[in-house]
Amino acid sequence: MACLRLLRAHCVLPALLALVLMSGCSPKLSPLYRDYEVTVESGLSDLDALERIDRGLVAAGWKITPGVAPNIRATESRKFREWGLYKIEVELEVAPVGGDYVRLLVHPYRVYFTGTRSKIPYLRGSLARSVLSDLHERFEEEGLTFKGTAQSRDKAARQR
C-alpha cells in the first residue's frame, strides 16, 4: 500500500509540472468580436454609421454581402491561411450598437480539402492581426476608434 502511494506521488508531481510548463507555451486566444467607438460627430444616426462601415470594409478589401438584418453588414469569405489539408477563411459581420458603438463579429472557418467547413471558436493572435490590421486603419479613417473587447477593456481598467 505504501508503494502505491509513493508511485502516485511520483506520477502526479511530474504531470502537474508538465501542465504548468505547457500552459506558458499556449497560443494567445481572443474572442470573436471587436468594438469600435463612433468618435467623429456625436449623435450619428445608424445610417451614417452604416455608411462609414461600408466605406471602411470596402477600403480594407472586403466585399459586402446582404446581412441577416438591414442594420448588419456582412462580407464574403476571404482566405487567410492554407495548411495543406485545410485552409482558413474568414467572414465578417458589422453592426452599429446604440449609435455610439460598432461591433465587429469575426467568423473564422477551417475549409477542408473535402469541402466541409468547421467553425473555429476563437481567434489566435496571428490570425486576428492579419484579419484586422487593415480594417482597424480604415475604420479609424472613418471615425470609428478601436476599443477592443470587453476582456481587454476590463484588464485596462484593473491596471489603473
The pTM of the full predicted model, rounded to 2 decimals, is 0.73
**Spatial CB neighbours of 52, under 8 Å, sequence gap ≥ 6:** 38, 44, 139, 142, 143, 144
Q: Which residue has the cell 441577416?
A: 68
Q: Which residue has the cell 458603438?
A: 101
pLDDT at residue 139, rounded to an integer: 92
Of residues 160 and 105, the one with the higher pLDDT is: 105
Of residues 9 and 109, the one with the higher pLDDT is: 109
pLDDT digits (tens, 9 = 90+) for 42-95: 555 556 888 999 999 999 999 999 889 998 999 999 998 888 899 999 999 999
Choose from 24-33, 44-53, 137-146 the range with maximum mean pLDDT. Answer: 137-146
How far CA 3 is from CA of 8, 90, 116, in Å, comes to 9, 55, 51
Q: What is the separation of C-alpha 126 from the centre of its chain, rounded to a whole number of angstroms?
A: 11
Degrees (nearest 5) of the Cα angle 40, 45, 49? Answer: 60
Give the other-Cβ count within 10 Å of 88's Cβ.
19
Degrees (nearest 5) of the Cα angle 58, 59, 65? Answer: 10
Which domains can be identified in the chain, with CATH numbers? 27-159 (3.30.530)
Helices (runs of H) and strands (runs of E) counted in the chain:
4, 10
Can you read off the three cell numbers belonging to residue 33?
Answer: 468580436
Give the other-Cβ count within 10 Å of 14's Cβ.
9
pLDDT at residue 44, rounded to an integer: 55
In the structure, what pLDDT confidence band is assigned to residue 100 with cuts at 50, 70 and 90? confident
pLDDT digits (tens, 9 = 90+) for 109-141: 999 999 999 999 988 888 888 888 889 999 999
pLDDT at residue 27, rounded to an integer: 53
Beta bridge partners of 117: 111
Amino acid letter, residue 76: E
